[in-house]
Structure 1
């Protein structure tokens, strides 16, 4: 835990947003702002009042969970709005955002309603609220730059795909682990059981931690229901017509959350721009799925003690201070036996994988970094450059 004493610059981060906070704190994140600066300020104030902090460094947690902006040097001609996934936060794009800004993009992230504070704030959130923040901040970004792209991770990828299909002036898409179709065939049930089973995993079971400084580890049933509805929305859009703008996709074969074969087939059949690219981390796809637009890299890297890639790990550099190879945030809750989880928590040597992977004699933590990160960003920039 860090020293609770804050330097003046961080103390200001606490106090300034409170000037605009209503006397009674709302359980809903504020929306409807006219500028990104106003949106960020009001969201910081809301987080200050509603967040369950996980460390003594409240200022750092506020920064990690609040909407963020990266401004490039010089005249800005291109901008991109990045949308995180279910249970995650704007921290998801800490490394991707900087890489894009280094290439001249004005980069912004959003905080989806129900996120960033505490998991119970997702008990009543709706897909429409998530769509609203994407719509509002895309329109604000469009007023400031002539060319706008959208990017998303998992559920966020569904949301930006939906918006892009309805707005032809979106120049292209960046999609990390897009959750077009859930891997769990029973996900549809979550839409109907929330009223009598608000949590799939009890929040007070004494085993599963609720959240970390940058993400939730337990989500209400309603959160999964809205995620599933976003997937249906994406599927409906994909069936409407092919999408002819440049699209970058990164997925891993061994993904416990989404149907990666469906994503690969969708890319080949529906994302028609010749400069679109999909990175597939895993085994070589079947012949029918192979294409010059599909780039394959193995996800078994024993030199990094990586057995397979994970849903969330594609977004982060090995140098990331929290999630990197030597990062401070190891995710030990990974679907293994309690004894192995305790070994992981104690700092024992681990291997890395997606959720639920097991091998005899090995302890697994969630893989939270991508050894191919720099190469991946180069492929992504090639796709975005083709949109001109």
Structure 2
């Protein structure tokens, strides 16, 4: 027998033995699939946003029934009477929401990220409501319920709901009102995909402007390999291999467990998006693409920072009819105290992004004024320029913070769950943003490295002000 067949046989036997001991002991949220979830096949010509909300109501009723029928002491978020369970909150931010303003300025559809929930766009949504926007916050199928929701979901399901929400927004505020889109991570990719689709189909509501937070234009190469793992997971006794990890679910608004299929759908969506952008650029169909403002952490272990510039912004043509798009990069903390322990690859990436080349968009960096301070400046390189102009900002890196992160971008510092300085007026069962835990290892279910990743954005006020300006909302600088 040749070595490769023998190796494959040994690998399969190992997987079977490993799975035999885990599948039967899988927790309910790792084996129960809710059948009320929406798929793109449900979106018949007469299906509307109201139908999606009604189906979502049935889905969460099924979730509630499932949790009541499967009580466990180690359920955390999925314990029926737990304060971590969003079903017990006065408002369930794991569900889609609609926020109506007192005086209408425009409308916006907001889309969250992969394994996330609408909670991640909550703070910005409430702010935009106050500024006069009719806000539709979309729960993407597979999210906000059980992690098994990501076992079979397809990115086309998410795209179908995005279109439903945009059609509903136009129905609510009319053809003559301004429609915009805000997307975080996977939600940003879906917003771009929709805008490209609307360029081809003028019957769809046309977004005027886009705001993209940590946009998912490219993901890791490992995601491309996940399809084979997912196919193997459909075999008897190998269903456990459909998970990249199974972790305790103590986060009330985000799955800690992650399926192989979720990674595969992220890969499929980004590859689809890259091809679609390149094709549209080749046919000169990006001329009227809505101006896009993006905020991205230079270092990001979830999405590729380089891909945002390479596959999206670089493809945008010179646009004399609309304001140029803009890419804002949050640099790492380059204070001299961090220099000896900082990897060099972040500097190489920064240099590559900010090469002295004329661009068809504004390029902005937020970073230390000098290596001797945590105080922040903005360096702005306008469209077509080769150099930057510095503006000092009333902001600084908090003590001990060495960079932003993918998950930090959409959350203000006072977010009650993920903020470094959480608002004490709200409580959703746990405060994950300012944990400072000391004790014996293996006592808590929270991983030791969970405290290292920043969960909130110390420059959120800057981002919020820039979004206001981008969407045409005037606000005095003193409000920073």
The two structures share one fold, judged by TM-score above 0.5 = yes
Residue 261 of structure 2 aligns with which residue?
A: 222
Aligned residue among 180, 189, 209 for 1:158: 189
Name the larger-Rg structure: 2
Aligned residue among 196, 199, 209 for 2:242: 199
Distance 1:170 1:233, change over 3 A: same
User: 1:159 deviation in Å?
Assistant: 1.1
**Secondary structure of 1:63's aligned partner:** coil
Aligned residue among 298, 319, 323 for 1:253: 298
Residue 20 of structure 1 aligns with which residue?
A: none
User: 1:104 deviation in Å?
Assistant: 1.5
Q: Distance in 2 between matches of 1:320 and 1:150?
A: 22
User: 1:38 deviation in Å?
Assistant: 4.9
**Secondary structure of 1:150's aligned partner:** strand
The normalised TM-score by structure 2 is 0.63
Residue 208 of structure 2 aligns with which residue?
A: 171
Residue 113 of structure 1 aligns with which residue?
A: 141
User: 1:191 deviation in Å?
Assistant: 2.2
After superposition, the C-alpha distances for 1:141-196 in whole angstroms (9 at most, x for unaligned) are: 112223221221111111111110111322121111111111x2221111232021
1:47 partnered with 2:92? no
Q: How many residues align?
A: 338
Aligned residue among 268, 274, 282 for 1:235: 274
Residue 153 of structure 2 aligns with which residue?
A: 125
After superposition, the C-alpha distances for 1:53-87 in whole angstroms (9 at most, x for unaligned) are: 3524523286110101121112x252111111110
1:308 partnered with 2:403? yes
The normalised TM-score by structure 1 is 0.77
Q: Distance in 1 between matches of 2:470 and 2:434?
A: 35
Q: Distance in 1 between matches of 2:133 and 2:154?
A: 30
Residue 365 of structure 1 aligns with which residue?
A: 452
Q: CA RMSD in A?
A: 3.1
User: 1:254 deviation in Å?
Assistant: 0.9
User: Which blocks of at least 5 consecutive residues in structure 1 are unaligned?
Assistant: 1-24, 351-355, 357-362
Residue 224 of structure 2 aligns with which residue?
A: 188
Contact (CA 8 Å) 1:112, 1:133: kept in 2 or not? yes
**Secondary structure of 2:108's aligned partner:** strand
What pairs with 1:1-388 in structure 2 (closer than 5 Å)? 26-29=35-38, 32=43, 36-50=49-63, 53=78, 55-56=82-83, 58-60=87-89, 63-74=92-103, 76-145=104-173, 146=175, 147-168=178-199, 169-182=206-219, 184-197=220-233, 198-203=241-246, 208-210=247-249, 212-239=251-278, 240-241=280-281, 242=286, 244-266=289-311, 268-272=313-317, 273=319, 274-282=323-331, 285-286=350-351, 287-288=354-355, 293-298=362-367, 303-327=398-422, 328-330=430-432, 364-385=451-472
Q: Distance in 2 between matches of 1:345 and 1:125?
A: 27
**Secondary structure of 1:174's aligned partner:** strand
**Secondary structure of 1:222's aligned partner:** helix
User: Which blocks of at least 5 consecutive residues in structure 2 are unaligned?
Assistant: 1-33, 68-77, 200-205, 234-240, 333-346, 369-373, 375-395, 423-429, 474-480
After superposition, the C-alpha distances for 1:15-67 in whole angstroms (9 at most, x for unaligned) are: xxxxxxxxxx7342475485545533441331232265352452328611010
**Secondary structure of 2:35's aligned partner:** coil
Q: Distance in 2 between matches of 1:325 and 1:212?
A: 16
Q: Distance in 2 between matches of 1:118 and 1:344?
A: 19
